[in-house]
Amino acid sequence: MVVGGLTPQAIAFGFFTILTLGGAFGVVLNKNLVRGAVWLIVSLFGIAGMFVLLSAPFLAAVQVMVYIGAIGILFTFAVMLTRSMTNMRQRFTTQWWSALIVVGLLFVFLMSGVIVPVWGGISPEQAGDVVATTTDLGVALVDGNQFVLPFEVASLLLTAAIIGAIVIARQHEEE
C-alpha cells in the first residue's frame, strides 16, 4: 500500500535513518558518557533495522546480539565502573581544526567509495563474488586462502586494545 507516494519500506528507511543519525549525534554531542553509550545503542539499533530492510536477517541478528547486546552493554558498564571519567569537564579541545580536517578527508574518501561503484567506474563483471549463505560466510572467514588473516589481525588488535585499557586504568588507580 502506497500512502502519499511513500511505500512502507521508504517510511521504515526514514525511521531507521533518523534512529541511526540521531543516535550518532547523541553520542557526539553528549557530555555524559553513560548517556553517550545509550545513544550508541540507539544508533546500532537503527543499523540493525537497515539490515532488516536489506533482507539480511542474519546480519541484523548479529547486530542486535553482538553489538547491542554485548558491546553496548560492555561500554555502559565500563563507563559506569570508571566513575572518574563519566563527566567530562572540557567539551571541546584546542585541536578541533585538525579533527575537522580529518573528518572532511574521511568524508571525501567514503563518498568516493560509494559514488564510484554506484555511478560508473566498476562494471558488474569486475565486482567480487557475493557470499550467498551463512555457511559460505563462515568458510570465508576461516579458510586459509580467504579472510583468515584479517580476521586474526582484528582479534589481535582487540586484544591489544583491552590490554591498553587495563594498563591505563591501573595507572589511574596508582596515582
What residue type is 82 in one-letter code? Answer: T
- In the predicted model, what is the mean pLDDT of residues 147-166? 80
**Residue 67 shares a structural domain with residue 35:** yes
What pLDDT is recorded for position 23? Answer: 92
What pLDDT is recorded for position 153? Answer: 84
**Residue 58 shares a structural domain with residue 105:** no
The last residue of one of the domains, among 89, 107, 141, is 89
What pLDDT is recorded for position 131? Answer: 46
Looking up residue 49, the CATH number of its domain turns out to be: 1.20.120.1200
- In the predicted model, what is the mean pLDDT of residues 12-21? 92
What pLDDT is recorded for position 68? Answer: 84
**Residue 82 shares a structural domain with residue 103:** no
**Residue 38 shares a structural domain with residue 54:** yes
6 backbone dihedrals φ, ψ, rounded to 5°: -105, 130
**Residue 20 shares a structural domain with residue 76:** yes
Q: Is 41 helix (H, G, I), strand (E, B) or coil?
A: helix
Radius of gyration of the chain (CA): 20
**Residue 155 shares a structural domain with residue 136:** yes
Q: Report the C-alpha gap between 36 and 80 in whole angstroms.
A: 12
**Residue 80 shares a structural domain with residue 53:** yes
**Total count of domains within the chain:** 3
**Residue 31 shares a structural domain with residue 70:** yes
> What pLDDT digit, counting tens, does each position of 24-76 carry?
999 888 877 778 888 988 999 999 999 989 888 888 888 888 888 888 777 77
**Residue 6 shares a structural domain with residue 82:** yes
- In the predicted model, what is the mean pLDDT of residues 9-28? 91
Secondary structure letter of residue 63 according to DSSP? I
Q: What residue has cell string 585538525?
A: 98
51-65, 96-110, 115-129: lowest mean pLDDT where? 115-129
**Residue 26 shares a structural domain with residue 2:** yes
Task: Print burial letters for 94-108: b (CB count within 10 Å at least 16), e (below 16).
Answer: eeeeeeeeeeeeeee
**Residue 34 shares a structural domain with residue 14:** yes
**Residue 28 shares a structural domain with residue 77:** yes
What pLDDT is recorded for position 1? Answer: 59
Sign of the dihedral through C-alpha 26, 32, 33, 35: negative
Residue span of the structural domain in which 53 resides = 1-89
Percent of residues, the chain, with pLDDT higher than 70 = 74
Q: Report the C-alpha gap between 46 and 70 in whole angstroms.
A: 16
